[in-house]
Amino acid sequence: MPTLLKFRYHYHASHFLWLAIFALTVMSQTFNWVESWRFDRVFIEQGRYWLIISGHLVHFNWTHWLLNMAGLAMVAFFFSPHASVKQWLTVILASMLLISGAMLLWLPEIRTYVGLSGVLHGLFLYGALREIRYYPASGYILLGILVAKLAWEFFNGAMPGSEEMTGGRVLTESHLFGAIAGVLVWLAEYFKNLIKQRR
């Protein structure tokens, strides 16, 4: 009997990175580490600098976590082969640092923050830009969709229904800063390769 839908798993080293993030976020929710791991301006100013990173690994609730894990699964499924583990890790750390740094410097009204969505926007933008190199049509379509989403959020706020699903305020600024981080990493790689080619 012919198979209408055939799926074949292709291993990539970055899958261990996605699984590690998945495991950390599951543990943080299961053992209720949210309050001790979340981005907290007061505690960071007192020297708990690790919250700049850990705040992106905890979530409001399991629904918020599930939505972010769905986004992470999409990154893993569509974009994993387009970059190395080192490149993906660079995007993750750059997004975390830029989002947290921007909140500390430019968004003084934000006292606490949780969630991976800002980092996911960095991963998606970076992945879409890398996708163009291998599959131009789908890469440009994905890039257009992401830019349109960011533009909507910039002018209109959170996407309809998103705050009801997550159970808290959606900080769209984190999406923008995460996306900027992803683009900056891609640009740094692009110009680095361009310089190498000209030598």
Structural tokens at position 114: 């949780």
The verdict on domain 14-198 having CATH code 1.20.1540.10 is yes
Q: List all residues 6 or more positions away from 8 whose beta carbon is below 8 Å from its beta carbon.
A: none
pTM for the structure as a whole? 0.93
Tens digits of per-residue pLDDT, 52-101?
Answer: 999 999 999 999 999 999 999 999 999 999 999 999 999 999 999 999 99
Map out the domains of the chain as residue ranges.
Answer: 14-198
Tens digits of per-residue pLDDT, 112-169?
Answer: 999 999 999 999 999 999 999 999 999 999 999 999 999 999 999 999 888 888 878 8
Share of the chain above pLDDT 90, in %: 86
How far is it, in rounded angstroms, from Cα 2 to Cα 165? Answer: 40
